[in-house]
């Protein structure tokens, strides 16, 4: 009997919750403009990828990057010291910046709607500002922060291999891309 009572009480609670939930309402421009809070979204991307080939072909000629890997570049023990006498393990490239001790948490990409000087709305895509953060850290005698990232692949022109292309460890990056219609 107590089991039946418990199930009935649980069912009644669920019914009450579903009835008491607020409904979603469509907002017009004026109503949406009156809403306050933080706008935009922040995206954090940690990437571990292997790509067979990325190629560009034009009039019979081609340039390609083959056997591409995107990772954190910590392949050998000494590649990525962790500052405590050890090394970071091999894994995904961590494209944002996280320094909890300083209260810094920068996403890979921030997406916001902003207004330019003439009042036109624009979509702003903002990269983490490592350049400013590293200048401030260096001025205080602290080491620069690095986004642990490696992109490596074999560079080909046509069928001929030119060698290996590698990009790693970003310390200076900042920028905003704005997009708007006209």
Distance CA 134, CA 112 (A): 24
Distance CA 129, CA 97 (A): 9
- pLDDT tens track for 50-70: 999 988 888 888 889 999 999
Task: Give this prediction's pTM.
Answer: 0.60
Closest CA to 104 of 156, 55, 142, 57: 142
| pLDDT the model gives residue 161 | 92
Which helix (H) or strand (E) covers residue 7, if one does? Answer: helix 2-20
CA distances from 168 to 38, 42, 71, 126 (A): 34, 24, 9, 21
Cα-based torsion angle of the residue sequence 27, 29, 31, 36 in order, rounded to the nearest 10 degrees:
100
CA distances from 56 to 48, 80, 157 (A): 23, 33, 10
- pLDDT tens track for 147-166: 888 899 999 998 899 999 88
| pLDDT the model gives residue 2 | 41
* Residue boundaries of the structural domains of the chain: 39-179
Distance CA 169, CA 70 (A): 12
pLDDT: which is higher, 20 or 146: 146
Per-residue confidence band for 126, with pLDDT thresholds at 50, 70 and 90: confident
Residue 86 has pLDDT above 60, yes or no: yes
Contact, 50 vs 150, CB < 8 A?
no
């Amino acid at each position: 009997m107590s089991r039946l009572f418990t199930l009935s009480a649980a069912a009644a609670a669920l019914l009450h919750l579903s009835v008491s939930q607020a409904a979603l309402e469509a907002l017009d421009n004026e109503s949406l403009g009156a809403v306050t809070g933080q706008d935009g979204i922040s995206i954090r991307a940690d990437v571990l990828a292997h790509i067979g080939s990325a190629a560009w072909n034009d009039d019979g000629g081609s340039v390609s990057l083959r056997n591409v890997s995107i990772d954190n570049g910590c392949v050998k023990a000494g590649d990525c010291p962790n500052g405590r006498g050890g090394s970071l393990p091999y894994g995904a490239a961590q494209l944002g910046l996280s320094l909890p001790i300083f209260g810094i948490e920068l996403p890979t990409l921030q997406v916001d709607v902003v207004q330019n000087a003439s009042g036109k709305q624009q979509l702003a895509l903002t990269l983490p500002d490592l350049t400013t953060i590293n200048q401030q850290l260096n001025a205080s005698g602290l080491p620069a922060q690095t986004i642990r990232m490696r992109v490596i692949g074999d560079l080909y022109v046509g069928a001929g291999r030119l060698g290996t292309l590698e990009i790693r460890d970003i310390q200076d990056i900042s920028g905003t891309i704005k997009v708007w219609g006209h």
